[in-house]
Amino acid sequence: MDQIDCVVIGAGVIGLAVARALAQAGREVVVLEREKAIGQGVSSRNSEVIHAGLYYEPGSLKARLCVRGKELLYAFCQSHGVAHLVCGKLLVATAPEQHTALENIQRTARANGVPVEWLEADAAMALEPALHCTAALHSPTTGIIDTHELMLALQGDLERAGGAIAFGARVTGAKLDPSGQGLHRITLEDGAVLGARWLVNAASLHACALARNFSGLESGYVPQEYFAKGSYFALAGRSPFSRLIYPAPSGAWLGVHLTLDLGGQARFGPDHEWLQETDPDAIRYAVDAQRGEAFYASVRRYWPGLPDQALQPAYSGVRPKIHAPGTPAPDFRIDGPQQHGVPGLVNLFGIESPGLTSSLAIGEQVLAKLAE
């Protein structure tokens, strides 16, 4: 049995950020990735937004890690030449009854230490003349990023610090050492076994199912997973907006928003579709063009000038939820020894938005939990 100091399962943006943090702390690290390249799952199918931290309950992991992660991420982009843009965002109300929601978000943002400015309708529409709204919040620290460039930069840091990624390495389970003195034995699909002192489960959509195959971890410490699909539609032609436009949110869903890529191309989404599939490998990512019909009504509330036939199916992504439909969205689960009692193990559950923004801060958090 080969032995190594640390194993991270999953080479998405979270797994890479965690592995980088461990390697830069002097640990010997191998990332086990089931696919043939980095970032082939959730990390390649998102809005590519650097969130400011407007929405999250003050003091929660989502709030703290988003705000800290945003600071780290902008600094990382500058130091590593990762393409990004601090374009700002307008969070808009399109009817007076939505103003209370904006006021609540403004209070939450301020409690999280996030700058935000209330704009009356005229001021907001002066910034974005194509916009219709009755009021807006301006978030100047929201941005966009090239996620693939970010992941390549994280991989580069990891490898320069002595870490490595094993592609095509599909983990099927592990036998955990409860003493903290021995090794966790990680089993691969081909029958190989790898021993590690520290084990981080950053398998995203597969994290819960994988953790159920960790012998030595009580089942009560693994939440039930659910999957929610979001489809995106691209705008034919150039965007009339220079900032991201988000509608006032409805519950845990942020609504069909307008985001931009670094070339100025606009896309709308995601919508929200709870899936019946319980196996991530059975999920179909094709975008149903008929879902675009509902987008027109949603978008025209804040952009009445959206032309007919202007939206084209783009792509879809799936979020690793750990709450059932109709129930409140929980906080991130970063479960270390203090939670489950197994030394040298961290499970990452329900790392959806703002996971990309929080990635470098999650790396710090995991390192701290393992070093306790």
Q: What is the mean pLDDT of residues 276-295?
A: 95
Q: Using pLDDT thresholds of 50, 70 and 90, give the confidence band for residue 254.
A: low
CATH topology of domain 2-47+148-223+329-371: FAD/NAD(P)-binding domain (3.50.50)
Contact (Cβ atoms closer than 8 angstroms) between residue 177 and residue 183: yes
Neighbours of 301 (CB within 10 A): 19
∠ at Cα 122 (116, 127), nearest 5°?
60
pLDDT for position 249: 82
The torsion angles phi and psi of 361, rounded to 5 degrees, stand at -70, -35
pLDDT at 309 over 80: yes
pLDDT 10s digits, 17-60:
999 999 999 999 999 999 999 999 999 999 999 999 999 999 99
Sign, CA dihedral 292-294-297-302, equals negative
- Of 34-48, 101-115, 241-255, 315-329, give the lowest mean pLDDT range: 241-255
User: Average pLDDT, whole number, for the chain?
Assistant: 96
Neighbours of 337 (CB within 10 A): 15
Tell me how far apart the alpha carbons of residues 346 and 328 are, in angstroms, rounded to a whole number: 24
Neighbours of 313 (CB within 10 A): 16
pLDDT for position 251: 61
Sorted by where each begins, the domain ranges of the chain are 2-47+148-223+329-371, 89-140+226-321
pLDDT for position 372: 79
Q: What is the mean pLDDT of residues 82-111?
A: 97
Q: What is the mean pLDDT of residues 306-319?
A: 96
Closest CA to 62 of 335, 366, 333: 333
The torsion angles phi and psi of 263, rounded to 5 degrees, stand at -95, 0
∠ at Cα 296 (290, 302), nearest 5°?
155
Closest CA to 47 of 309, 332, 314: 314
**Pairing mode, if any, of strands 214-215 and 171-175?**
parallel
pLDDT at 216 over 70: yes
CATH 3.30.9.10 fits 89-140+226-321, yes or no: yes
pLDDT at 252 over 60: no
Q: What is the mean pLDDT of residues 114-139?
A: 98
pLDDT at 288 over 80: yes
Q: Is the pTM of this model over 0.75?
A: yes
| Cα-based torsion angle of the residue sequence 15, 17, 22, 23 in order, rounded to the nearest 10 degrees | 100
Percentages helix, strand, coil for the chain (3-state, rounded to 5) are 30, 30, 40
Q: Using pLDDT thresholds of 50, 70 and 90, give the confidence band for residue 255.
A: confident
pLDDT 10s digits, 142-194:
999 999 999 999 999 999 999 999 999 999 999 999 999 999 999 999 999 99
DSSP letter, residue 353 = T
pLDDT for position 253: 57
pLDDT at 1 over 90: no
pLDDT for position 21: 98
pLDDT 10s digits, 261-274:
999 999 999 999 99
